[in-house]
A and B are shown apart, each in its own frame.
Chain A
């Protein structure tokens, strides 16, 4: 017990007395995410604001549509031939050419089906916008003259009953599991590789192995202390993410209200994070202990990263997971985080997740102890 504490204290001292380490694993991830996401938000917003009204030529503008089209688009006088206009569209100078048949309005009353041509360039953003705007206007006009029934036509009525609270919860439940799990993983990788593969490579772990400490104590001490550091790194990333999300989404009109979550949600999230970090740290510790050098360890963790990525991606598509899924580490965490963020938390899967993760980490740390005992693994340079 004392030796476990001694190992933990040593790892903490190694970490917390090293300003560079604190900066690179605690401050930088959160800061980086905050800055990058805020910048991304600012860019999307300015793009949304700046996008100019598409410039179009309209031939035979029908009276019935004139006001709708002119308010949405910058309708110019066509001074060139049709072919030249098309070239200009292809070149991006003009966004669209819309050709209505003469007396379009008369034709729509009769049984004839008039044809409207819209020439546009799908590779140009504003041209594509022009196209979709015009087709939308035409479609709603077509519906209004056929008028079989109306859908959501009442002005001033709010039909989308989702409040901004659950809208932001929905966004969070799809974004957070993936980002959080990958952030946790990268935090774990940074500390575990350095502390296990690095120590093995430098021969400092061998010095511990000739002292009468139990291998299992060394394994437990390492895994616990590294997990704490990794959790701190994960919290830093998480704060960066949460604080920057409102900025990131500012262009989309979704209001973010973190107040939607109660203390229990945050507690649940925290527990899931801890249990997941334990799994990651012990798994990465095994890989690092096996590797001959930090460099080799870096190569060997690629499959771990891919597996974690697959698990988080899967969780995005599993909308109503069966209990069985919660027996798979990482996937279970991802599903739990999604449920917590979506406000659809259920106790049984959560408890299964915690148990599975903790048992998994315990088994892996036993394995790590066995590996520390193996001369083939510890001295295989």
Chain B
């Protein structure tokens, strides 16, 4: 294990059972391999980007890291803690954001912040201080007492982001964090992620937006059909051409190998 390694993913594999009708469509194939023997590491203080087309297995990988689901085989270690064997240990260390995790429509951002702080055991004074600064940062203070049901998609996404980091985690897992956000809000989010990195936090995010990855990520893993197609620093990957063209190369290469 390297000195400043914060995440180590080892031979992660995850399959899903296909519904019967789909099995027939695919000629008797019973399972879908969403993540296929994936291994990589990320390091303290960097933003690691998981890049891939729709259905590549990005969300599935991040759900395993966040201990929401268990891999069929392999393991992921966050700060040395196994996601498979010690999920409780991992949950305290991470902040996880994905569209699947919703907040109750009935409550206000202010209440939800307090509630999740309590679940994470954040002391009251620290909580209030954090709430003030995060709400100001994301402009949530303007609708802190409005029920979530009455907020727009982007406002909800901002609240979700803030709620996912109420406990100031050292390792942040963001699945498509700028989904549904306008350019202004998206910029707030990316700026904030850069700030977190400057504070020494480690971040892994998934995206299919290449410009976002180019702007933000230190290192990038490209996954196609659940397999790692490339893993390198952003500068090495974009040495010859931009990330998008590089991705097309990787994609035709991966598909060509399989055909």
Residues of A at the B interface (CB closer than 8 Å) are: 2-3, 6, 10, 13-14, 17-18, 199, 202-204, 206-214, 375, 379
Contact = CB atoms under 8 A, between A and B. Distances in A.
B120 A211 contact: yes
B40 interface: no
A65 to B, nearest CB: 75
Contacts of B96: 210
A206 B101 contact: yes
Given A209-B68, A210-B66, A2 B100 contact: no
Contact of A210 (B68, B106, B118, B121): B68
Given A2-B121, A199-B104, A206 B68 contact: yes
Given A375-B68, A375-B69, A379-B69, A203 B119 contact: no
Interface in B169-221: none
B103 A207 contact: yes
A379 B66 CA distance: 14
A212 B91 contact: yes
B92 A203 contact: no
B121 A204 contact: no
Contacts, number: 58
Contact of A204 (B102, B118, B119, B120): B102
A149 B224 CA distance: 102
B91 A204 contact: no
Contacts of A203: 100-102
A213 B119 CA distance: 6
A18 B96 CA distance: 29
Contacts of B120: 211-212
Nearest to A198: B104
Contact of B70 (A6, A211, A214, A375): A375
Nearest to A5: B118
Contacts of B67: 210
Contacts of A10: 115
B118 to A, nearest CB: 4
Given A6-B115, A6-B118, A206-B68, A211 B104 contact: no
Interface string B53-95: 0000000000000111110000000000000000010011010
Contacts of B69: 375, 379
B257 to A, nearest CB: 32
Nearest to A217: B119
B102 A3 contact: no
B116 interface: yes
Interface string B96-112: 10001111111100010
A213 B88 CA distance: 8
Interface of B: 66-70, 88, 91-92, 94, 96, 100-107, 111, 115-116, 118-121, 163
B104 A14 contact: yes
Nearest to A17: B106
Contacts of B92: 212
Contacts of A3: 118-119
B102 A202 contact: yes
Nearest to B114: A6
Contact of A214 (B66, B88, B107, B118): B88
Nearest to A209: B68
A-B pairs, top 8 by smallest CB distance, nearest first, are A203-B102, A212-B91, A212-B92, A6-B118, A207-B101, A375-B69, A211-B119, A204-B104
Contacts of B121: 2
B88 A2 contact: no
Name the residue in B105, B119, B120 with the highest tally of chain A Cβ atoms < 10 Å from its Cβ. B119
A208 B102 contact: no
12 contacts: A3-B118, A3-B119, A6-B118, A14-B104, A202-B104, A206-B68, A209-B68, A210-B66, A210-B101, A211-B91, A212-B120, A375-B68
A207 B88 contact: no
A48 B70 CA distance: 69
Contacts of B163: 207
Contacts of B106: 14, 17-18
A210 B102 contact: no
Nearest to B64: A375
A324 B166 CA distance: 53
A13 to B, nearest CB: 7
A209 B106 CA distance: 19
A206 B100 contact: yes
B126 to A, nearest CB: 15
A206 B119 CA distance: 14
Contacts of B116: 211
Given A10-B115, A206-B101, 11 more contacts: A2-B121, A3-B118, A204-B103, A206-B68, A206-B100, A207-B101, A207-B103, A210-B91, A210-B94, A212-B92, A375-B69
Nearest to A214: B88
A213 B167 CA distance: 13
A10 B164 CA distance: 18
A379 B68 contact: yes
Nearest to A208: B119
B29 to A, nearest CB: 20
B159 to A, nearest CB: 11
Contacts of B111: 13
A2 B120 CA distance: 10
A199 B106 CA distance: 12
B118 A2 contact: yes
A280 to B, nearest CB: 24
Contacts of A213: 119
Contacts of A14: 104, 106-107
A3 B91 CA distance: 15
